[in-house]
Chain A
């Protein structure tokens, strides 16, 4: 998979999370969905779930498009010493 495709997938994830946050059509469920654990109404529990989803989304983004830098990247130009491990 090329990096551009990975970046496109990342953009799709961001778009999905944005739409999910702005999903006003779900607001009608606020007084219909039962309380989670007896004290969390939908307007609240939705964002508890959203937080878990955010961690999963970040994990996917890290796997897809967050490579580690090459070991010699931070050596000054012309420095031929072996990179620190």
Chain B
């Protein structure tokens, strides 16, 4: 049973979240931009914690530890290695240019940015449909994963249906009144909490197992294969290479991440975030990797889905009940910080990009509708998480890949003036269709040439964008100027200054 101390800790945690919600509602203005983008006024720490906490899910602590339990130390590089660099790089590659356009033209979502660049309602609609299509299963899977972890760590005391209800309800308490500002403030609180507790948890488990060196020696004696990446089929080089095209490059395409980039106050905020991000991601995944690998000798014999329970089992078997409470709070923090941002961005897309197709919506009305839709989508997500329909779960299996193959169109739009709306539409539709054919087993496996389907689909997206754009009429000069004149001013600005400086230096 949870002790009195546990109830006090959890009550304190919930009180802080509710307090943030109430305060956030008092300072927020009732405008669309304030509710969904925090008035484009987020500073470096706010953007960083919002991106970091939104991107940490139950998988980071639970699933990745389970994967490391089976695969060994190689799981670290496989899952997070390329992300450590390429994810912050995409904040520059895609994020900065999108932020510039957002500031200049008031764009707030991907359909607005890319529909605006191509001057095409169809491109905007395709972005909207695909993002909603992939975000919903991703949201539901986050709720399912978090609720299962919550139930496991409470030893079944809180049943699955109640875990889901608690997680969703608490997320709504601060998201409904305070919008993005509420989720970002709670991200700062929850991100700091789970980063701090995770580090302490690692040290406590290490001490309980005899120390960092002793447990590593035990692994070398009992299971030396855990040290060698070449011995695990799951992370064979062809999978390792293919995986580079899934989670790492998908991050900037997630609507909840993209929106937070647009909400940055200044360019310098994004620069700082790009420098903080690698170390934070490397740090949190290092903890779950080590816990998983250590668990393989401390609690041997788990396999399949049971290995995902390794962190709760380590806490259960080797630490005092106080750690169970802290573990519970960490799980809640991790799960909710991603679910609230997914729910809000889902609602944002519908309110900003779908609703205006049906009726005129003023800025104040958008906030009203946003709040109503948050509740509607939360109830729908709760229902789906309870029923767990196979169709939704099968889409979730390749939702990350779906996000990834949208990236070539985003890059093409921001860097290649010759890219046009026909190329963009074809490059959004064709790879998405191919992904379905591969993942649903309609096309034979050999057609991916041994790679994971995301890699050939990514190449197809690039090829389709280029070929179709060249085969059709180029965008008008006026349309190109609307986007690329801004980039020319920003990116040649320094060259001009350098030239002037040179002139000054040369007298």
Residues of A within 8 A of B (CB): 1-3, 14, 17-18, 21-22, 24, 27-28, 30-31, 35, 37-39, 41-44, 46-48, 50-55, 57-59, 61-62, 65-70, 73-74
Tell me if B76 and A31 are in contact (CB < 8 A).
no
Partner of A67, one of B213, B215, B290, B494: B494
How does the 8 Å CB contact mask read for B88-109 relative to A, with 1 for contact and 0 for none? 1100100010001001100000
Q: Choose the segment among B25-33, B170-178, B223-231, B254-262 that binds chain A (4+ C-beta atoms closer than 8 Å).
A: B223-231
Interface status of B460 (Cβ within 8 A of chain A): no
Tell me if B224 and A31 are in contact (CB < 8 A).
yes
Q: Which residues of A contact B216 (CB under 8 A)?
A: 35, 38-39, 41
Tell me if A1 and B498 are in contact (CB < 8 A).
yes
Tell me if B212 and A43 are in contact (CB < 8 A).
no
Tell me if A54 and B489 are in contact (CB < 8 A).
no
Tell me if B489 and A73 are in contact (CB < 8 A).
yes
Q: Which residues of B contact A35 (CB under 8 A)?
A: 213, 216
Interface status of B161 (Cβ within 8 A of chain A): no
Interface status of B267 (Cβ within 8 A of chain A): yes
Tell me if B275 and A46 are in contact (CB < 8 A).
no
Question: With A14-B89, A50-B84 as given contacts, are A22 and B73 in contact (CB-CB < 8 Å)?
Answer: no
Interface status of B2 (Cβ within 8 A of chain A): no
Q: Which residues of B contact A24 (CB under 8 A)?
A: 237, 240
Please give the distance in Å from B106's CB to the nearest CB on chain A: 10
Q: Which residues of B contact A48 (CB under 8 A)?
A: 282, 286
Please give the distance in Å from B389's CB to the nearest CB on chain A: 37
Alpha-carbon distance between A3 and B290 when the two chains are bound, in angstroms? 43
Question: With A43-B74, A48-B282, A73-B486 as given contacts, are A68 and B268 in contact (CB-CB < 8 Å)?
Answer: yes
Question: With A38-B216, A51-B278 as given contacts, are A43 and B85 in contact (CB-CB < 8 Å)?
Answer: no
Q: Which residues of A contact B493 (CB under 8 A)?
A: 67, 69-70
Q: Which residues of A contact B484 (CB under 8 A)?
A: none
Q: Is the interface of B mostly helix, strand, loop or mixed?
A: helix
Q: How many chain B residues touch A (Cβ–Cβ < 8 Å)?
A: 52
Tell me if A18 and B77 are in contact (CB < 8 A).
no
Interface status of B495 (Cβ within 8 A of chain A): yes
Q: Which residues of A contact B104 (CB under 8 A)?
A: 73-74
Q: Closest chain A residue to B492 by CB distance?
A: A3
Q: List 28 A-B contacts (CB under 8 A).
A: A3-B492, A14-B86, A18-B82, A18-B86, A24-B237, A27-B229, A28-B230, A31-B228, A35-B216, A38-B212, A38-B213, A39-B216, A47-B77, A50-B85, A51-B281, A52-B279, A54-B282, A55-B275, A58-B88, A61-B89, A67-B494, A68-B267, A70-B490, A70-B493, A73-B104, A73-B489, A73-B490, A74-B103
Interface status of B307 (Cβ within 8 A of chain A): no
How does the 8 Å CB contact mask read for B62-93 relative to A, with 1 for contact and 0 for none? 00000000001110110011101110110010
Tell me if A47 and B274 are in contact (CB < 8 A).
no
Question: With A47-B77, A68-B267, A74-B103 as given contacts, are A58 and B490 in contact (CB-CB < 8 Å)?
Answer: no
How does the 8 Å CB contact mask read for B273-285 relative to A, with 1 for contact and 0 for none? 0110011011000
